[in-house]
Amino acid sequence: MNRIKQLRKEKGLTLQQVADDLTAALTKQGERHIAKSTVLRWENGKNSPTAEMWGLLANYFGVSVDYLQGAWSRKEVLELMSSSLLDNYDRIYKMAIEYGGDGEEWRLLDEISVDGGDEIYITGSGQVMKFNESALSSTPSKKKFIDELRRNYFEGLAFAVLQFVYYRGVLHNFHTEEHFDYEARIEADDKLTDAEKVMRLNYKSYPKIKGDENVHRFMMNFWRKRNSEKRLAFLDAFFHEYDDNSILEDAVVNKIMQEKAPAETMALVLTSVINSAINSFGIAVRSKNELYIISRLEQQYKELSNEFDELQKENDRLKAELASKR
């Protein structure tokens, strides 16, 4: 549906005023008279303006032809994300408590995948494991939540945004000095059993704790924005920090925007693009872990080389000492 009526209402114009203004503009060019009924048929989609008339209407309302014809604007995409979060966050939080239990709400974002592919699981040590969806979704407790998120496209979009925030926090806090300090403290804590140490180092590791905190901080900042414009600016700035808006500038998203797709389709496309970004976080963690392993091996090699050199020197000294006694 085009936006002629929407823009006319926003500007407080009547059908007759629009018809008269267009007629005045066309009269200067020696063109025909525009009737009020013609504008009404354009608004209702019963007739379509000519290409020239679309251009005139766009200039009249001060917008692009694509936008006038119904294409999504960047602002509307952000509004869809914002409304999805506002309308579905409470439900997702209740799902998180039901799934993980009180204090374990983070598990829903960590363990559930709704993108239809393999699920990525990042251990505390940085091992990135992939599980086939069919095996995971066969678990009744998981399947229940996955089915709900897939049925409600806007709830699924809100979940994808929150999961993006969670894994972004995981990635940013993986193999940092704080991460290593945390693991050292856990290893040195004599009050913890071996099982408790494994739990804190792998199951609910430092990066996952920080990922959960990232979600709470994100939503606190989102809720603090008291009007729609501020919330949209917050979301825009947040995604701008991620790879120069690769999500909002994604080719598929832009194609759907131009095709004037319904909100449900846009929600599905955004969810898919965001899930692709989430999967890239898993790849980035694996890369970080591989670099860390390489650096550790290089350090160990250096230490062993130094030890070998010292042993060689000691061996040479002992040989010289033995030779001097003969």
pLDDT for 283 equals 65
Q: Please give the average per-residue pLDDT across 226-241, as a whole number.
A: 90
Does the pLDDT value for residue 55 go beyond 50? Answer: yes
Does the pLDDT value for residue 59 go beyond 70? Answer: yes
Q: How many angstroms separate the most distant Cα atoms in the chain?
A: 122
Closest by CA position to 281, among listed 243, 236, 234: 243
Burial 175-186 (b: 16+ CB within 10 A, else e): beeebeebbeeb
Query: What does the pLDDT look like over 97-131, one tens digit per residue?
Result: 999 888 888 889 988 887 654 444 445 444 444 44
Q: Which of 93-97, 102-106, 129-133, 227-231 is least confident?
A: 129-133
pLDDT for 31 equals 59
Mean pLDDT of the chain: 83
If one compares 44 and 249, the residue with the highest pLDDT of the two is: 44
Neighbours of 296 (CB within 10 A): 10
Distance in angstroms (rounded) separating the CA atoms of residues 277 and 271: 10
pLDDT for 286 equals 62
Does the pLDDT value for residue 150 go beyond 70? Answer: yes
211: Cβ contacts below 8 Å, ≥ 6 apart? 106, 109, 110, 166, 167, 168, 169, 170, 173
Query: What does the pLDDT look like over 303-314, one tens digit per residue?
Result: 788 888 888 888
pLDDT for 270 equals 93
Distance in angstroms (rounded) separating the CA atoms of residues 180 and 184: 6
Question: Which pLDDT band, with edges at 50, 70 and 90, does 261 fall under?
Answer: confident
Question: Which pLDDT band, with edges at 50, 70 and 90, does 29 fall under?
Answer: low
Q: Please give the average per-residue pLDDT across 242-263, as a whole number.
A: 78
**Burial of 306 from C-beta contacts in 10 A (0-12 / 13-18 / 19+):** exposed
Query: What does the pLDDT look like over 158-190, one tens digit per residue?
Result: 999 999 999 888 888 888 888 888 888 988 999
pLDDT for 290 equals 56
If one compares 139 and 274, the residue with the highest pLDDT of the two is: 274
What the block records as the tokens of 119 is 């699920």
Q: Please give the average per-residue pLDDT across 220-244, as a whole number.
A: 87
Question: Which pLDDT band, with edges at 50, 70 and 90, does 90 fall under?
Answer: very high
Q: Is the pTM of this model over 0.75?
A: no
Most confident of 152-161, 282-291, 309-318: 152-161
User: Is-contact 4 42, C-beta < 8 A?
Assistant: yes
